[in-house]
Chain A
Amino acid sequence: MRKMIELKNITFGYDADSPVLKNYSLTINSGEFITILGHNGSGKSTLSKLLVGLMEPQQGEIIIDGELLSEDTIPTIRQKIGIVFQNPDNQFVGSTVRDDIAFGLENKCVSYDVMNELVERYAQKVGMEKFLDSEPHYLSGGEKQRVAIAGVLALGANIIILDEATAMLDPRGRENVMNLIHELVEDRDKTIIMITHHLDEAVKSDRIIVMNEGEIILEGVPKEVFQEKELLESVKLDVPFAVKASYELKQRGLLKEVVTNDEELMDELCKLHSNR
């Protein structure tokens, strides 16, 4: 597997005494869907700002797609990496959906015809093709986030960072954005890093990284990570319902194992019922 992102011994802090990230190392492979979990202030959003070169670590190096992140390589690296931020309104630059998807392409000096083709293709991909001429204040938060994702896709980035991209959305908006993300994951041609504090959004990821106070405290596939119910709760994270319920059922001697998602829970319970 090809390494897409490598963080080597990163230390970063806004002031020297209290680093937000401490000697942080992480490798992410090409095509991986990875979720970084942590409560507010655990350092997870700092990580995303470092990756896109908005901030610079005091120590350590960041290598993206084989290239060392530095002042000189930032422009080329930014072509490979796209980010969707938390606040849907504050990243919508264009005055219409079409303008906003095109913003990055305009900066790249893409020609009019190519640009139009790309904008329409990716508007369709995120299901916003009917809204190309809509202005942002007529769109819901979820719709704006989908437009932001289209903007990233149109630029041809092969790494997508979603920095709490669903945190300000209502349930419907969140569901739509999560469905879109899962669709992108199925395509398998993007490396996707999702930063969130919702554990239920992490269920389908290849790997989960749990952060607390600037350090990785837990790492693994969802199944392994969710077994650590107590550890997760101790770092202020809430485990998904299926984990909680199966954990409790295990305590009562009904289930043998903690399961991670609702479907598995149903299967296990039905099995139990028919075995009786």
Chain B
Amino acid sequence: MQITFESVNHVYNARTPMERRALYDIEFDIPSGQFVAIIGHTGSGKSTLIQHMNGLLKPSSGVIRIGEKVIQSTEKNKSLKEIRQHVGLVFQFPEYQLFEETIEKDIMFGPLNYGVSIDEARKRAYDVIQMVGLDAEMLGKSPFNLSGGQMRRVAIAGILAMNPDILVLDEPTAGLDPQGQYEIMEMFNLLNRQYGKTIVLVTHDMDLVARYADEVLVMHQGVLALKGSPEDVFKQIDELKRCGINFPIPAQNYHTFANRLSLSIDKLPLTTEEFVDQVESVLCGRG
């Protein structure tokens, strides 16, 4: 399912003393099956942007297309609910949305809200709990006795159970330890590659962007400042600095390295492996 934004604007509290403009003429499209990262520092409009993707916010002007569906300022709430089934939005710290006595019931909550039969919802719970890397035997247990990382997986399973084509993730790794972060990101990667879900990832971690994203959107003060592949985006050093964005650590280091030796930079390494390879080729290769 493709996502298209056509000159989308958003103004909070329009025509009140608290009026605040959050998005300015946003235009982009995300093809089906892509892994997209949205970056920008706090207050850049990222979170407003993603809430437009499943109709939690309506644009003040402009059009958003999700597959065949259209979201405009005049949209009825009923059709927005419909859209939310196709675009699963996972908020930051999603473990705080759990509320049922058992994991199974909590996962079934979403599908049941969309009129799926109990049997089908139960079957989906059985499937998705395994997709998030947990054991189906846990279904009967209370979600509140799990570790933080496991609770988060259950919450994500609850979104996956609605069988969305698009998964929008707001800082899904926040507060997890390094191992937990790695595992959960690998899980999203799998959902993208194996199950064909379109993934939209909002993150502050540039190393995750470098490792997983096909495409990067850079937000700055409510404007879409840059868009392109990680290689292209991270090449635009001055523009990224203006947006207050850090580079992936390997790129930062290579940049310093190359500057100190006055080497020309064709390409910045985005991962540790690339860094090591590039340094090796500078030191050994080419003579």
Contacts and interface: CB of A to CB of B under 8 A. Distances in A.
B180 A172 contact: no
Contacts of A254: 279-280, 283-284
Contact of A172 (B42, B175, B252, B256): B42
A249 B281 CA distance: 12
A124 interface: no
Interface string B184-223: 0000000000000000000010000000000000000000
B175 A41 contact: no
State which size class the interface on B falls in. Answer: 20 to 34
Contact of B179 (A236, A272, A276): A236
B215 to A, nearest CB: 21
A197 B257 contact: no
Interface in A125-184: 140, 167-168, 170-173
Nearest to B246: A171
Contact of A252 (B174, B246, B275, B280): B280
B249 interface: yes
A241 B211 CA distance: 14
Nearest to B171: A170
Contacts of A262: 249, 252-253, 256
Contacts of B149: 40
A210 B88 CA distance: 38
B253 A265 contact: yes
A40 B183 CA distance: 14
B282 interface: yes
B23 to A, nearest CB: 20
B253 A39 contact: no
Interface in A227-248: 236-238, 241-242, 244-245, 248
B177 interface: yes
A108 interface: no
A16 interface: no
Contacts of B180: 39-40, 236
Contacts of A41: 147
B260 A270 contact: yes
A41 B151 CA distance: 14
Given A172-B42, A245-B250, A269 B279 contact: yes
B212 to A, nearest CB: 16
B249 A241 contact: yes
Interface in A183-226: 197
Interface in B217-270: 244, 246, 249-250, 252-253, 256-257, 260-261
A110 interface: no
A266 interface: yes
B261 A273 contact: yes
A257 B284 CA distance: 18
A194 to B, nearest CB: 15
B180 to A, nearest CB: 7
Contacts of B42: 140, 170, 172-173
A262 B41 CA distance: 24
B276 interface: yes
B179 A245 contact: no
A172 B284 CA distance: 37
Contacts of A273: 261, 282-283
Nearest to B279: A269
Nearest to B287: A276
B214 to A, nearest CB: 23
B257 A248 contact: no
Contact of A276 (B246, B253, B283): B283
Contact of B276 (A40, A237, A248): A248
A214 B178 CA distance: 18
B14 interface: no
Contact of B177 (A39, A171, A270): A39
Interface in B19-69: 41-42
Nearest to B41: A172
B257 A266 contact: yes
A182 to B, nearest CB: 18
A80 to B, nearest CB: 30
Contacts of A237: 177-179
A208 to B, nearest CB: 15
Nearest to A236: B179
A173 B276 CA distance: 30
B280 A270 contact: no
A1 to B, nearest CB: 32
B253 A40 contact: no
11 contacts: A171-B246, A172-B244, A238-B178, A238-B179, A238-B182, A245-B253, A245-B279, A248-B273, A249-B279, A266-B253, A270-B260
Given A242-B253, A273-B282, 4 more contacts: A39-B178, A40-B149, A245-B272, A248-B273
Interface of A: 39-41, 140, 167-168, 170-173, 197, 236-238, 241-242, 244-245, 248-249, 252, 254, 262, 265-266, 269-270, 272-273, 276
A-B interface, 9 closest residue pairs, ranked by CB to CB distance from nearest: A236-B179, A238-B178, A39-B177, A241-B249, A197-B177, A248-B276, A40-B177, A244-B272, A170-B42
